[in-house]
Chains A and B, each alone.
Chain A
Amino acid sequence: MTDQTTSWGRAGLEFLDRVGGGLSLGTKGALATFNFIHPDAEMSSNNGPKFKADTVQTSTYGEAIPRIYGRVTTSGNIFWLEKNKLKVVTKNVQPESGAGGK
């Protein structure tokens, strides 16, 4: 428990350090961002931060459905994903022949 607490504290510090102006995010955005930075994420952060926006894409059961008037820009709520996973297509690509080739 103590271990976890300290690592979460570390993650919190890292979060503040990384985001800097984190307070300017909305509460929802700040919390969601915090969720994305897992204590163990240090090991796999080679690709750099992927999460940068001030609105949050949600996928929540029981979310309230907003009413729409006029012209509204929304992020919406994802309620269905085909087979509950993304489709990965693996392709073999021939190397470009212009670079010398065989």
Chain B
Amino acid sequence: MGKAATQGPNTSVVNEVYGTFAIGLGMGPCFAVGKIWAAEQLIYNLMTDAKAHIDADGVLHGFGKIVGVDFSFEMYPGTPTQPICHRMEIDLGEANTPRFPGLCYIVFKDFPLMSFGNTLQATMFKIEVLKLPSSHTPTGE
């Protein structure tokens, strides 16, 4: 885990742990993810993050940073026709990957867990889901 002593000729070994996973949020259709907390730390805020965008299929692509490490996520809105998550398709196979129609879910891709004890249990996501666009969101109305 953490860094070894910085003195001495030998290199020190650092393990970095990443998770790629999907979290089901609820019945769709929903509009966007407003804020995300991980272990009581606000790691994403749609109101202030201009890099988030919603593509033609309604999938929200968000980007954030934890202690200098970038992460990205996709939020599938839970429409009947939402696309398949390609990352999940690669893992499970085309025949085993549904598009989860009606389920609003979020997929974190290579989420850095180093700040959270390297476990998903300790990361404890809290995700604010917005059912409808609001005037404060970048792509709303």
Interface string of A86-97 (1 = CB under 8 A from B): 111111111110
| Residue of A55, A65, A72 touching B124 (CB-CB under 8 A) | A55
A21, CB-defined interface residue at 8 Å: no
A99, CB-defined interface residue at 8 Å: yes
- In the assembled complex, which residues on chain A have CB atoms less than 8 Å from the CB atom of B110? 87
- Which of B16-24, B48-56, B57-65 contacts the other chain? B16-24
A to B CB contacts below 8 Å, 19 in the list: A50-B122, A57-B123, A68-B27, A68-B104, A69-B131, A71-B130, A72-B129, A73-B127, A75-B124, A76-B25, A76-B26, A77-B23, A80-B21, A89-B17, A92-B11, A93-B14, A94-B11, A99-B7, A102-B9
| Residue of A51, A67, A80, A95 touching B88 (CB-CB under 8 A) | A80
- Residues of B that sit less than 8 Å from A by CB: 3, 5-28, 30, 34-35, 39-40, 87-88, 91-92, 103-107, 110, 113, 117-132
Shortest CB-to-CB span from B67 to chain A, Å, is: 15
The total of chain A residues at the interface (CB under 8 A) is 43
Interchain pairs with CB closer than 8 A, number: 149
Beta-carbon contact of A95 and B11 below 8 Å: yes
- Residues of A that sit less than 8 Å from B by CB: 36, 47, 50-51, 53, 55-57, 63, 65-83, 86-96, 99-102
Which residue on A lies nearest to B128, using beta carbons? A73
Shortest CB-to-CB span from B126 to chain A, Å, is: 6
Which residue on A lies nearest to B100, using beta carbons? A79
